[in-house]
Amino acid sequence: MKVKVNEVFHSIQGEGARIGRPCLFIRLTGCPLRCSYCDTAYAFYDGTLRELDDLLAETRQRLGPPRKGPNAPFVELTGGEPLAHPQAPELLRALLDLGYEVALETAGSHDLAAVPREVIKIVDRKTPGSGEVHRWLETNLDHMVPGQDELKFVLCDPADYEWARDWCAERQVWDRLEVLFSPVWGSLDPAWLAERIVADDLPVRLQVQLHKVIWGAEKKGV
């Protein structure tokens, strides 16, 4: 099996409930979405076809032996949109079989049914401000594991905040999933978002993109 890979890099997890943890990222090439705030357009086309065994060997070499606990070696499949690759579920299963903790970053535009249950699914529900709000499969909520998976909203403006708040309330997703609200870098003031979350008493986690705080918005491979 071959898969087109844009880059593989070892950094820290910059987003989500596991923010700050060392993580090996495997970024696949290609994405059918065109979000207004996309910061990885370089992954739309550029990449190299990699054999599965070669990719797994690099993962083992860079992460070392698997182990349990809060500092267990951690690998994330991202993109682009990784589930646009039919081979992605097989790759995720192979990474799990190595014994590592495995996460998937996805837009929720592709069916999660084939993704192994043990994979941590970080699902980005697109908002109106993204321009891709229609790219969503509602049935994906049925394949998200409470206590493990995360539902993320990247918010462009106050209207996106109100839309995301109401969407979550209608479905009561925060009763069973970790919900993340993230401001678009350079567009929505994080302080404003923090104040609104507190004022509205929302059971969500505010996140900023830690890798951009550390290295700046333009640096790749972090």
Which residues participate in the annotated binding site for S-adenosyl-L-methionine?
37-39, 80
- d(CA 134, CA 108) in angstroms, rounded, equals 10
Whole-angstrom Cα Rg for the chain: 17
Residues annotated within a binding site: 12-14, 27, 31, 35, 37-40, 78, 80
Residues annotated within a binding site for [4Fe-4S] cluster: 31, 35, 38
Q: Are the C-beta atoms of 80 and 44 separated by less than 8 Å?
A: yes
Residues annotated within a binding site for substrate: 12-14, 27, 78
Three-state DSSP state, 121: strand
- d(CA 146, CA 101) in angstroms, rounded, equals 17
The β-bridge relationship of strands 48-51 and 2-12 is: antiparallel
Residues annotated within a binding site for Mg(2+): 40
Structure tokens at 111: 């069916």
Q: Are the C-beta atoms of 141 and 113 separated by less than 8 Å?
A: no
Please count the other Cβ atoms lying within 10 Å of the Cβ belonging to residue 43.
Answer: 23
Closest CA to 39 of 189, 220, 198, 178: 220
